[in-house]
Amino acid sequence: MTLVAPTPTATTTTAAPPTPHRTSSTLLGHFERGLDAPICLTWELTYACNLSCSHCLSSSGRRDPRELTTEECKGIIDELQRMQVFYVNIGGGEPTVRSDFWELVDYATAHQVGVKFSTNGVKITPEVAQRLAASDYVDVQISLDGATAEVNDAVRGPGSYDLAMRAMQNLADAGFRGFKISVVCTRENIPQLDDFKAIADRFQAQLRLTRLRPSGRGADVWDDLHPLPHQQRELYDWLVANGEGVLTGDSFFHLSAFGEALPGLNLCGAGRVVCLIDPIGDVYACPFAIHDEFLAGSIREPGGFEGVWRHSELFQKLREPTGGGACGSCAFYDSCRGGCMAAKFFTGLPLDGPDPECVRGFGEQLLAERATDALPKPTADHSHRTSPPRPRGSAGPVPLTLSIRRPDAQPAHACAESPLAGFTPTAVTACACGGH
C-alpha cells in the first residue's frame, strides 16, 4: 500500500511550544518489549451501570452473571501485590454499584496496590466523600463529557450532568482536593476546553482529557462524535498552551506529529506495561480493545493473572518488535508510532497502517476506501435493552424483517420448553398436491 500525501487541511498557527520531557529511546525500548508485570492496569469490576452513555467503551449496562466473586477479586489483588503492580484503575460499568466495592478498595490499599476509581458520581454522597477525603491512597475520577448539561447529557443521558456536579460538590465540600474530572474529547465538547478547566479549578480538581475511541458503543457514534481534523489541532495547541497539570492518560500520542510530543510515554502500552481485567476475569490488551482479537486469556485459568501476563500468545506477539508497516516510511512514524491499535481495529483499518485520525490525513483516505458492512463487533454486549443501535459506517436504515402473526394463534410462553409450543395442528382434509 502506498501512502499518498493528501491535500493539507487548514491548521492554526501556534507559538513555539515549551520543551516538555520526552522519554528516552532507552526506556521506550524496554517498555515496548514488555515488562514482567504491568506498571498499572485497568480493572472493570462490573458491566452493570445506572447510565447508558452512547460512547461506552465496554458496552455496559447489564451485569454479567459470570462476574468475579469477592474472593476471586481479592485473589487478583493478592497477585497484583506480589507482582508489585503499583496502581489499579477501577472502572466498569459503574464500579460503585457492586456491594463489595468499598471492601475491595480497602483490601487493595491495604495490600500495596494504589487505587483510582472512575465513577459517574451516583454513590458519592457527602458521607462517602468524607471517607474518601480521609484516605491517602484512593484517587477518584468523575466522568464528565460536557461543560454544560446540554452537551454532557446528549452523550451520558438526562440527569447525568447534575449527578456528576453533585458528586464533585460533595468531594470539594469534604476537602478532597485533586480528584480527577475525566473528559472524553468529542466534536461537541472541544469548543468547551476552557470551560472544563474552569470547572476543575472551581472544585480544586485535576482535569483529564482523553481520546474518543471507536470501541464498544463508541463504534456507533464515532462517525458523528470524533473530532474533526481542525479540532485535533485545536486540542493539541490547547494542551501545549494550557496543559500543565492536565492529565491525558497518554491518549494523544497520535498527535505527536504536530510538534513536540505531549507528556507521557507516547507509545501504545497495551500488553506491554498495561492491560485490562474485565468483570468476568478475562484479560484484554487494553480497555479500548474488548474483542476476541485482543483477548489474552482469563484469570480463572490455572496460571492466574500472572500466567496470562507473562505467557499468553497475544501479549508475547505484542511485545515483538514490529516495523512501521505502511507507516515505516513516514517521517513522523518515530513520534506517532502508527497511533492506536484499537482505533484502527474498530474502524476496520489494517493494524500495520495509519491511525484513522492520522494528523497527516492518511487515515481519512483509508476510511473512505474501506468496506463498512463488516466492521468488527465485540462478541458480548452488556448494554441495557433499548432500541437497536444505528448501523456503523453508514447513515442508512436498519434492515428489519416484519412478520404478521396469524390472528388466531396463541403466542408461546417465553419459558415453554417444548419445541412444539405454539404449534396448533389443523385437521387434515385433502392435501392439495394429490400425491397421498
Partner 1 sequence: MPSVTLDSVVAVHPRVSIRPEPFGALLYHFSTRQLSFLKDRMLLEVVRACDGTRTLGEALGTTGVPAAQTARYLRAVETLVASRMLESASAGTAPRRTAPDSATISTEAVA
Partner 2 sequence: MTPSPAPQNTVVEAPSGELIDEESLVEEVSIDGMCGVY
List of residues contacting partner 1 (CB under 8 A): 24, 26-27, 30, 35-37, 39, 84, 86-87, 102-103, 105-106, 109-112, 114, 125, 127-128, 131-132, 134-139
Task: Pick the stretch among 193-201, 334-342, 404-412, 426-434 that binds partner 2 (CB under 8 A).
Answer: 334-342
135 binds, among partner 1, partner 2, none (CB under 5 to 8 A by kind): partner 1
What b/e string do you get for 291-308 counting C-beta neighbours within 10 Å, with b at 16 or more? Answer: bebbbbbbbeeeebbbbb
User: Rule CB under 8 A: is residue 155 a binding residue for partner 2?
Assistant: no
Distance of closest approach, residue 307 Cβ to partner 1, in angstroms: 19
Q: Which of residues 105-134 bind partner 2 (CB under 8 A)?
A: 114, 118
User: Rule CB under 8 A: is residue 273 a binding residue for partner 2?
Assistant: yes
42 binds, among partner 1, partner 2, none (CB under 5 to 8 A by kind): partner 2
Other residues' Cβ atoms within 10 Å of the Cβ of residue 86: 14
329 binds, among partner 1, partner 2, none (CB under 5 to 8 A by kind): none
Q: Are 59 and 379 in contact (CB under 8 A)?
A: no
36 binds, among partner 1, partner 2, none (CB under 5 to 8 A by kind): partner 1
Task: Pick the stretch among 157-165, 270-278, 365-373, 415-423 that binds partner 2 (CB under 8 A).
Answer: 270-278
- The grid cell for 313 is 500468545
User: Rule CB under 8 A: is residue 256 a binding residue for partner 2?
Assistant: yes
- Which has the closest alpha carbon to 146: 178, 99, 116, 188? 188
Close Cβ partners of 183 (under 8 Å, ≥ 6 residues apart)? 143, 144, 145, 189, 196, 207, 208, 209, 210
**Strands 282-284 and 295-298: what pairing?**
antiparallel
Distance of closest approach, residue 48 Cβ to partner 1, in angstroms: 18
Q: Which of residues 38-67 bind partner 2 (CB under 8 A)?
A: 39-42, 57
User: Rule CB under 8 A: is residue 360 a binding residue for partner 2?
Assistant: yes
Angle between helices 304-311 and 70-83 (to 10 degrees): 50
**Residue nearer to partner 2 on the CB measure, 77 or 246:** 246
Burial class of residue 102 (count of CB atoms within 10 Å of its CB; 0-12, 13-18, 19+): middle
Q: How far apart (Å, rounded) are the C-alpha atoms in residues 211 and 222?
A: 11
Q: How far apart (Å, rounded) are the C-alpha atoms in residues 171 and 167?
A: 6
110 binds, among partner 1, partner 2, none (CB under 5 to 8 A by kind): partner 1
Distance of closest approach, residue 204 Cβ to partner 1, in angstroms: 17
